[in-house]
Structure 1
Amino acid sequence: MAPAGSLIKWQDGPAVDMDFPKHFILQALSVLLLAWVLVHCQTPIAPKEEEEEESIDCPLECRCTAEGAVDCAGVDLTEFPEELSNKTRQLSLQNNKIKEIRVEHISHLHQLETLNLQNNCLTTDGLEDEGFEMCEQLAYLYLANNKLTSAPKVLPPSLVSADFAANQLTRIYPYTFGHKPKLRSVYLHNNKLTDAGLPDHMFNDSDNLEIITMSSNFLRVVPNNLPSSLYRLHLKNNKLEKIPAGTFDNLQNLREMYLQNNLLTNEGMDNETFSQLSSLECLDLSNNNLSVVPKGLPRNLMLLHLEKNYIHSIPGDALNSVRNLEYLLLHNNKLRSRSIHPAAFQGLKKLHTLHMYNNLLERVPRGLPRRAKTLMLLHNSISEIGRNDLALLYTLTELNLSYNKLTSPKIHREAFRKLRMLEILDLSGNALHRVPQGLPRSLQLLEIKNNQLNSIPDGSLTGMEKLQKLILSDNHLKLNSVYQGAWMELSALTTLDLSGNQLTHIPSDLPESLEYLYLQSNRISSVSASAFEGTPNIRGIFLRFNRLSVESVDESSFAHLSNLQVLDCGTGNTDLPLKKDEMEGDKMVEEEQET
């Protein structure tokens, strides 16, 4: 213990006289401790979020976040917002009425990464080039749907994606999109660009560019010196007449090219035009002026779209190189069966979809691809199907022969014998008098509407245990046109459409699986109590435009149908009221008919 009268010096504290009583010493220490707490612990500390928010200058009409995002979209701004923080990283100004951007507006935004100005009123005169050049971090620039007539002369090398679509651009400059090592995508569609408005090396040193869209302009020649990194090229809806030799030779990475809706002819390209595109998978040349399927197509092509040309022939070697082709679309052309070489499709082992509708085919072409699954031959002039015309199409699942000139005597009874995987067959819009014999038992949908059917011969539906929908509307069928028990054989049938025929009664022996029965526009005059005894699962019955009256309909015929949702027998019958459930079913009727 310290001697009497001495002082004790506490660390970082005052000296204490030990002659004082102990309780005075303790009181003094308590006071000193309280004072220290008041000085050091009562100063308020602002929350971290508030400090960060105070560092962001946010325009009155906008919303800002601490991460540097400023959202001023769709607030009817007529001028560029002032006093933006130099920490702004994303600036959204789309859907306003901004007319100009001066250098001082954005020159201080050195951290800006995304600038969205689409759907404004910007003009070239109101856009000062130097401003964008000072945005050293700018990666995404959206200026679509403005009134620009020429692109900015210089954009920063940090640019990753630029969207100038739907302006009035007539001119691009070498440093607009050139010398941009990070640039990935450029959108210039829906402008007024011509060949004269493009520099020779508009993408020079932009060696990572993957997507270019220049559709809906006024280009007559495919731009040259396209970057080798290109993945997708859109040039549809231009005035392209010619593809200069070697234009695509360095595009080893190109996978999709869209050249539809132009003026291209076979003379405007050569046999090597597409041959070097080793990665090309999709080529769209539809709606041009081609007269022959072009040669020299790349091996890896998977989809070739040639719709709406003037193609009248397919040479035997035109498609030899495209061993990986899966989709070949040749509809809306001038093809005749005799102008298609028998070996035209030889070797196309992966081709599964072939569209040849709206041509001038007089019969099923020879040598069709053996692996085909979908074959569309509707709207031609095919008048017969021979025994072997379809014999090699073992894998076919959908065949459409509607709206041709087929007659019953001209369809061989064994024409469909090999189609053991066929699920959908459409023979509508021909001149058939009877349902063809020998239809595949694998069918799930059979459509023979709008013919002249007056007979369903004995056994023609036998074995069709997978058939779910049978469409026989708009024919001349009567009750005695159908062999006894025909409907009962269709054990999976859910939809039976017999509308627009000459039936006088509800067909008997309907299958138990039936859910929708279309009988409108017939001559049915009564509904018996037993009419629907065998169809407990039925959901919709359509009987409009018949000869029914209140007295001729036995209400008990519907009493046991617990799943019935639509009973439509109002309009077009005699003195038969339209019930509530019928009115609710009107919309469903229309939707079902459209389907």
Structure 2
Amino acid sequence: MKEYILLLLLALCSAKPFLSPSHITLKNMMLKDMEDDNDDDDEDNSLFPTREPRSPFFPFDLFPTCPFGCQCYSRVVHCSDLGLTSVPSNIPFDTRMVDLQNNKIREIKENDFKGLTSLYALILNNNKLTKIHPKTFLTTKKLRRLYLSHNQLSEIPLNLPKSLAELRIHDNKVKKIQKDTFKGMNALHVLEMSANPLDNDGIEPGAFEGVTVFHIRIAEAKLTSVPKGLPSTLLELHLDFNKISTVEQEDFKRYKELQRLGLGNNRITDIENGSLANIPRVREIHLENNKLKKIPSGLPELKYLQIIFLHSNSITKVGVNDFCPTVPKMKKSLYSAISLFNNPVKYWEMQPAAFRCVLSRMSVQLANFRK
């Protein structure tokens, strides 16, 4: 018993002191110097030694390891902004979150996260990723949030965990969403795919079959029309900064529960009659910075619509019944924001009754049109 107590005291005495934030800058400088010495071999990751073998006297980790240069606490491993070229090899097995953003990692290998069965969130934003091994996520069956934005991935990683609830792959080079990419991912609620060169043909039929997604953003892409094969469970759909020119009656037919619709900064000249009737629960619509010449039809029938942005279009007239229903009780929620500024409409010719279903006069934004 005395021998065990002596070993414990020796381990405590040899433990490294906690580094305060004032030492972080110096430590980063040391890492930089060590990286310069290893420039001859970009794949060398000697800064992060492998896990030491366990002592036969202690069949457990007396003191959990932390990758060199990283900060570890409360099952969170922070390794951001260290200039890493690969994933550290000695991440504690009970880790819940790994932060590897703002590094120089080009590839995720098969065993980089092997054994991290409790991993909940993985942040890999702003690296140089071009490849993720198909078997990378086989053991991370509790992963809920995966952030891959600002990389160079040409496709969505294969065999993603079925437990994933949030996937952000913004600003990559993804051109296609293949069929069965999200198969079995019933918990996927948020999908961010903006700033990818994705067009309508790149979304294969059946890509979202059987998937429950509430929020999808495919802005800053190459879409020329509203995608028709997205999940029917959508509550929010954001397609801003695309090349959409028309909205057809069938475009929203499968999105009955939609509550927020973003179509701003497109090239929309026409919205077919009856198109908006397919989204009766919508509460917010963005149509700013398009080429509309009139108020879209069907707005008075949207009982819950509260926010409608129509500024920076080519609207020349506002009718007395363009926004509000003729029967007051039909409107369940009053407008809190109607924006019409930067349109060639003569606001002094508008009848006050046109805005009879708004919360207050501050809810309507008007201004002179200037070329």
After TM superposition, the score normalised by the length of structure 2 is 0.75
Contact conserved, 1:192 with 1:218, CA < 8 A, in 2? no
* Identity level (%): 19
**CA, structure 1 residues 449+392, in 2 after alignment: closer, same or farther (shift >3 Å)?**
same
Alignment match, 1:308: 126
Matches within 5 A, 1:324-335: 324-335=142-153
**Aligned equivalents of 2:277 and 2:24: distance in 1?**
63
Contact conserved, 1:280 with 1:300, CA < 8 A, in 2? yes
Runs of 4+ in 1 over 4 A off after TM superposition: none
**Is residue 528 from structure 1 mapped to residue 350 from structure 2 by the alignment?**
yes
Letter in 2 for 1:523: P
**Aligned equivalents of 1:247 and 1:532: distance in 2?**
74
Tell me the CA shift for residue 299 of structure 1. 0.9
Matches within 5 A, 1:502-541: 502-507=314-319, 508-511=321-324, 512=331, 513-525=334-346, 526-529=348-351, 531-532=353-354, 534-538=356-360, 539-541=362-364
The 3-state SS of whatever aligns with 1:399 is strand
Match of 1:353 among 163, 166, 184: 166
Number of aligned residues = 315
Larger radius of gyration: 1
Contact conserved, 1:241 with 1:262, CA < 8 A, in 2? no
Alignment match, 1:403: 220
Tell me the CA shift for residue 398 of structure 1. 0.9
Tell me the CA shift for residue 424 of structure 1. 1.4
Matches within 5 A, 1:251-262: 251=64, 255-262=75-82
Letter in 2 for 1:263: G
**CA, structure 1 residues 398+500, in 2 after alignment: closer, same or farther (shift >3 Å)?**
same
Match of 1:425 among 229, 237, 240: 237
String of CA shifts for 1:50-83, please: whole Å, max 9, x gaps: xxxxxxxxxxxxxxxxxxxxxxxxxxxxxxxxxx
**Is residue 245 from structure 1 mapped to residue 50 from structure 2 by the alignment?**
yes
**Is residue 179 from structure 1 mapped to residue 1 from structure 2 by the alignment?**
no
String of CA shifts for 1:259-310, please: whole Å, max 9, x gaps: 11112223x755xx44xx2211011111212112243311110011111111
**Is residue 474 from structure 1 mapped to residue 308 from structure 2 by the alignment?**
no
**Aligned equivalents of 2:351 and 2:337: distance in 1?**
19
**CA, structure 1 residues 527+363, in 2 after alignment: closer, same or farther (shift >3 Å)?**
farther
The 3-state SS of whatever aligns with 2:22 is coil
Contact conserved, 1:360 with 1:381, CA < 8 A, in 2? yes
Letter in 1 for 2:247: V
Matches within 5 A, 1:116-515: 179=13, 186-191=18-23, 216=28, 218-219=30-31, 242-246=47-51, 250=61, 251=64, 255-266=75-86, 269=88, 273-274=90-91, 277-296=92-111, 297=113, 298-337=116-155, 340-341=156-157, 343-345=158-160, 348-364=161-177, 366=179, 367-368=181-182, 369-384=185-200, 385-394=203-212, 396-408=213-225, 411-412=226-227, 414-416=228-230, 418-420=231-233, 422-435=234-247, 437-438=251-252, 440-479=255-294, 482-483=296-297, 486-507=298-319, 508-511=321-324, 512=331, 513-515=334-336
Tell me the CA shift for residue 444 of structure 1. 1.5
RMSD: 3.1
Contact conserved, 2:28 with 2:82, CA < 8 A, in 1? no
Letter in 2 for 1:246: R
Letter in 1 for 2:139: S
Contact conserved, 2:284 with 2:306, CA < 8 A, in 1? yes
**Aligned equivalents of 1:245 and 1:282: distance in 2?**
20
**Aligned equivalents of 1:248 and 1:290: distance in 2?**
27
Alignment match, 2:367: 544
**CA, structure 1 residues 466+248, in 2 after alignment: closer, same or farther (shift >3 Å)?**
farther
**Aligned equivalents of 1:370 and 1:443: distance in 2?**
18
**Aligned equivalents of 2:276 and 2:53: distance in 1?**
55
Q: Which runs of 5+ in 2 are unaligned?
A: 1-9, 35-44, 55-60, 66-72, 325-330
Q: Which runs of 5+ in 1 are unaligned?
A: 1-174, 195-214, 223-239, 547-571, 574-595
Tell me the CA shift for residue 365 of structure 1. 5.1
**Aligned equivalents of 1:438 and 1:536: distance in 2?**
26
String of CA shifts for 1:127-156, please: whole Å, max 9, x gaps: xxxxxxxxxxxxxxxxxxxxxxxxxxxxxx
Tell me the CA shift for residue 534 of structure 1. 3.9
**CA, structure 1 residues 289+180, in 2 after alignment: closer, same or farther (shift >3 Å)?**
closer
String of CA shifts for 1:140-191, please: whole Å, max 9, x gaps: xxxxxxxxxxxxxxxxxxxxxxxxxxxxxxxxxxx9x96299x9x8243333
Contact conserved, 2:252 with 2:279, CA < 8 A, in 1? no
Contact conserved, 1:327 with 1:354, CA < 8 A, in 2? yes
**Aligned equivalents of 1:545 and 1:390: distance in 2?**
45
After TM superposition, the score normalised by the length of structure 1 is 0.48
**CA, structure 1 residues 468+444, in 2 after alignment: closer, same or farther (shift >3 Å)?**
same
**Aligned equivalents of 1:247 and 1:467: distance in 2?**
57
Letter in 2 for 1:455: D
**CA, structure 1 residues 458+397, in 2 after alignment: closer, same or farther (shift >3 Å)?**
same
